[in-house]
Amino acid sequence: MPEGTLCNKKPVETAEGITTLLADQSGKTYYEEMKSLEIDSDLLWKTIQNTCKSRMRTWLEICAHCGMCADSCFLYLVNGKDPKQVPAYKIQSTLGEIIKKKGKVGNAFMRHAMEVAWAQCTCCNRCGMYCPHGIDTGIMFGYLRGLLYQQGFVPWEMKIGAGMHRVYNAQMDVTDEDFIDTFEWMVEEYEEDYPGLTVPVDVEDADIMYTINAREVKHYPEDLAEAAILYHVAGEKWTVPSKGWELTSLSMFAGDWAACKMQVESVYAAMERLRPKRMVGTECGHAHRATVVEGPYWAGRKDGRPPVESIHYIEWLAEALRTGKLKIDPAKRIKEPVTLQDSCNYVRNHGMREVAREIISYIVEPGYFIEMSPNKEHNFCCGGGGGFNGIGYFRKQRNVGLKCKRDQILATGAKLVIAPCHNCWDAIRDLEEEYEIGIKWSFLKPLIIKMLDIPEHLRPKE
Amino acid sequence: MYTLLTGPVFYISLGVCIIGMIVRFYQYFNGLSWQLDRVAYKQFPGMGFKGAMRSIYKWLIPYGTYGWRSQPVMAAAFFGFHIGAVLIPLFLIAHNVFLREKLGFSLFTISTPYADWLTWIAVICLFFLVLRRLVLPEVRILTDRKDWGILLISIAPFITGMLARYQVGDYSFWLTAHILTGEIVLLAIPFTKLSHVFLFFASRAQLGMDFGIKRGGIKGTKMAW
């Protein structure tokens, strides 16, 4: 059977296709079919010849095999320093082999490469900072994922996720109506506490266009209300687009580059339609990476920038606190040992190491903040990045991966972990569930709301 | 043999090395693609240049990066070898006498005792790197025959040079062997991993531009990539 009915080289492009895939519980049939999926070696080799150019070829060639990347990889560290987890080995034995063999590789090899690409690398790019030659294995794994996706060797959830973006322009089956309805409903819920609270939809020329993670609509609707509350209290002229509101990109994790382009273009179209001064994205790491850092390139924007200035939620928050738009009641600051999870996607890969600490300086009573070690751009991945959190097939490996963050948190002695990133937040929740170390974890929005000093005129009348 | 090695073979190997590396440098930068690499190289030349220079500079300084500091012993061995491997071939008095004779110019030179020290350190460090390759599982798994070949090619001019320098046995034999092994290095540079002699700068510059232009350089953080 060269192509399965579920596992094949075709992307999912219809709602029915998604339903059919979802009906296959845990992808049981999907992975069975994968065992007989044929490889289109000619296409694979042609793609490599067209897209694997001097940067990656040189990386693969000049790698000195020095092993300095080993200790930089959290998966190497938590897997008993297994030499097979050394980043250079992982990429040389997968992408390196495919190139050496000019695409003539077998089914078992491709399934193995899939496991390495999604369960042995979270594309956190930490190894890139430890290689004397500046070889960024994470980038190469992102590339390898694209090749594997093209050939149909992609984890079940990733295939579904990429399909969701193609069908709904969102990582989940959340329609534009669902989004607006949920947002309006949540705002109504909080209207009594915050008189005048609204969600301005499709307002042109606003100062801020806010974009979110579809999970918030489906699973964490309070997050939407919290965002509205903070903009309301800060007095921002903000809006949400009725279309193009999804910041995330599971297609990036899946290596479905065509879907990546479709997804970011929907957000950019909203920017062009509403002409906001800036876009602010929710507390999510990969979403920021996808839409703000990588997205412009997928969309073919030569300057590598989105149509309007786009910032991460923590950048807006730091600015609002700095300028006094939001005021913190000093008595309500955090007074328990607290630490911060630096997200790879916007700290290591977009330079925001100080911004998060500025926020900490406003909201934590001096003496209670403890840095993780290592931290900032050298911080380890939460353990669930790059799609790892969402792949049931590799859950066991993911749970082992969580040990690194668990031990980092334990070493701080903190009782609360601030995680302004959906992926990190999930991973930390899962590690608490798995290892029960007695911690709490939180996004910034709910913490800030609890300690806000709300101006008199915005308070509910008694 | 000696006449041949110091005559045509010398010119050919030097020529192959220099022209080969110019070609590879050109191919490298010509092959960079803003869309495939997802870095707007041409749109932000200033930020790109700054990022590239910072990246190269920091990694050339012993313990200049977090990466070097996290592996202090490896860093010591690495720099111990590489400092010798760069300074000795270029600035040894004997090499420059030879250079003046053959090409009509010479470079700055270092004193013989100093050169001796550098050579001993380089050889000892290289042996440490070999040992590391044999002992550490994370390095062993990466090591293939080519790596051993490169190590052999790199250490040969040092060993033969020292045997000639201390006149162990037949001086003229070791001198000839030294010139031959040196020329093998020159010939191997464009075609093997030894290309890192030049491509290190290209590869580091690329990552520096990547971070400088796209991944955080614009945020004004002074990270050393």
Domains of chain A: 39-154 (no CATH), 164-311 (no CATH), 330-450 (3.40.50)
For tokens 């353990």, the residue is A383
**Which of A325, A308, A329 has the alpha carbon at shortest distance from A316?**
A325
Q: Are strands A338-340 and A309-311 parallel, antiparallel or unpaired?
A: unpaired
* Contact (CB<8Å) B142/A76: no
Alpha helices in A10-53 (DSSP H): 15-23, 28-34, 41-51
Report the percentage of chain A scoring pLDDT > 90.
Answer: 98
- Reading the block at residue A239, the tokens are 């809006």
Task: Calculate mean pLDDT across residues A414-425.
Answer: 98
- Give the per-residue pLDDT at B216: 85
- Give the per-residue pLDDT at A341: 98
Q: Is B31 on the interface with A (CB under 8 A)?
A: yes
Give the span between the Cα atoms of A436 and B175, in whole angstroms.
Answer: 69
SS3 A265: helix
Q: Supply φ then ψ for residue B76, to 5 degrees.
A: -60, -45
* Contact (CB<8Å) B193/A92: no
- Give the per-residue pLDDT at B39: 97
- Give the per-residue pLDDT at B189: 97
Give the span between the Cα atoms of A41 and A142, in whole angstroms.
Answer: 20
* Contact (CB<8Å) A65/B35: no
Q: Is B82 on the interface with A (CB under 8 A)?
A: no
Q: Is B70 on the interface with A (CB under 8 A)?
A: yes
- Give the per-residue pLDDT at B224: 66
Q: Is A303 on the interface with B (CB under 8 A)?
A: yes
Question: A3 near A38, Cβ under 8 Å?
Answer: yes
* Contact (CB<8Å) A62/B207: no
For tokens 């005021």, the residue is A327
- Give the per-residue pLDDT at A74: 98
- Give the per-residue pLDDT at A2: 84
- Give the per-residue pLDDT at A302: 96
- Give the per-residue pLDDT at B218: 76
Give the span between the Cα atoms of B29 and B41, in whole angstroms.
Answer: 11
- Give the per-residue pLDDT at B225: 59
Task: Calculate mean pLDDT across residues A374-390.
Answer: 96
In A, minimum Cα distance to B77 occurs at A66
SS3 B144: coil
* Contact (CB<8Å) B38/A81: no
Report the percentage of chain B scoring pLDDT > 90.
Answer: 92
Shortest distance between the Cα of A70 and any Cα of chain B, in A, equals: 7
SS3 A79: coil
Question: A184 near A153, Cβ under 8 Å?
Answer: no
Q: Which domains does chain B have, with CATH numbers?
A: 2-31+39-216 (1.20.950)
- Give the per-residue pLDDT at A1: 55
In B, minimum Cα distance to A63 occurs at B193
Q: Is A80 on the interface with B (CB under 8 A)?
A: no
Task: Calculate mean pLDDT across residues B140-153.
Answer: 96
Residue A460 has pLDDT above 90, yes or no: no
The region, left, alpha or beta by phi > 0 then psi within -120 to 50, assigned to residue A255 is left
Q: Is A302 on the interface with B (CB under 8 A)?
A: yes
Please provide the size of chain B in residues: 225
Query: ipTM of the predicted structure?
Result: 0.94
Partner residues linked to A246 by β-bridges: A212
Residue B200: pLDDT band with limits 50, 70, 90 = very high
Angle at A212 (CA atoms; ends A205, A294), nearest 5 degrees: 90
Task: Calculate mean pLDDT across residues A110-138.
Answer: 97
pLDDT single digits (tens) A131-175: 999 999 999 999 999 999 999 999 999 999 999 999 999 999 999
pLDDT single digits (tens) A240-259: 999 999 999 999 999 999 99
Q: Is A43 on the interface with B (CB under 8 A)?
A: no
Task: Calculate mean pLDDT across residues A49-69.
Answer: 96
Residue B2: pLDDT band with limits 50, 70, 90 = confident
Task: Calculate mean pLDDT across residues A268-278.
Answer: 98
Which chain B residues contact residue A147 at CB under 8 A?
none
Burial of B212: CB neighbours in 10 Å, binned 0-12, 13-18, 19+: buried
* Contact (CB<8Å) B43/A89: no
Give the span between the Cα atoms of A449 and B203, in whole angstroms.
Answer: 46
